Amino acid sequence: MEIKTVVVGPLGTNCYVLIQNGQCLIVDPGEESQKIKDAVGKNQVVGIIVTHYHFDHIGALEEVKDFYQVPIFDKNNLKEGNHTISSFSFVVIHTPGHKEDSISLLFSNHMFVGDFIFQSSIGRTDLEGGDFSEMKKSIEKIKTYSDDIIIYPGHGPKTTLGEEKRNNMFFR
């Protein structure tokens, strides 16, 4: 699977374009729909996944959905567990804390976490829908996964789960 990171909007939101066998999924189309379309190229979009509904992760959602005429997937229609969308197989993990509708997506050893985890930090819990006690439960859940998983956050550089277990004060 090829992963393209498209940094969009004034908050530098990471939108991810996942490409496999000529098909792609778009994760968190924050803004700047043309940049996202450029990253998609000639690949067939089979769906859009929203990790959580904060404005900086969905600014281009309707425009991209209308352009490609594809479904939107989120916590409302992705139950926790295994899923397949076209040629993509992945695990959905409900990870509330930053927002009550936060989900993380595990494709093999690639985990897309929205604003749940950042390099050496976590998402804010003081915004609407945030809850620090839920965040602590989500962190405990995610700590059970393998250290070699690559974490793709909603902002900033990627990291690994092992690095976060060792260096992120919220994981202690």
Give the pLDDT band of residue 36 (cuts 50, 70, 90). Answer: very high
Express as a percent the part of the chain with pLDDT over 70.
Answer: 100
pLDDT in tens, 46-68: 999 999 999 999 999 999 999 99
Residue type at 68 in one-letter notation: Y
What is the chain's length?
172
* Fold for the domain defined by 2-171: Metallo-beta-lactamase; Chain A (3.60.15)
Query: In this predicted structure, what is the pLDDT of residue 112?
Result: 98
Instruction: Count other C-beta atoms under 10 Å from residue 130's C-beta.
Output: 18
Domain parsing of the chain, residue ranges: 2-171
Q: What is the pLDDT of residue 67?
A: 98
In whole angstroms, give the CA distance from residue 51 to residue 14. 11
Q: Give the pTM.
A: 0.97
CB 16 within 8 A of CB 27: yes
The predicted structure's pLDDT at residue 106? 98
Both tokens of residue 163?
């690095």
pLDDT tens for each residue of 84-133: 999 999 999 999 999 999 999 999 999 999 999 999 999 999 998 999 99
Name the residue with tokens 């769906």: 47
Q: Residue ranges of the alpha helices (H) in the chain?
A: 33-40, 55-58, 61-68, 132-142, 161-167
What are phi and psi for residue 114, nearest 5 degrees? 55, -130
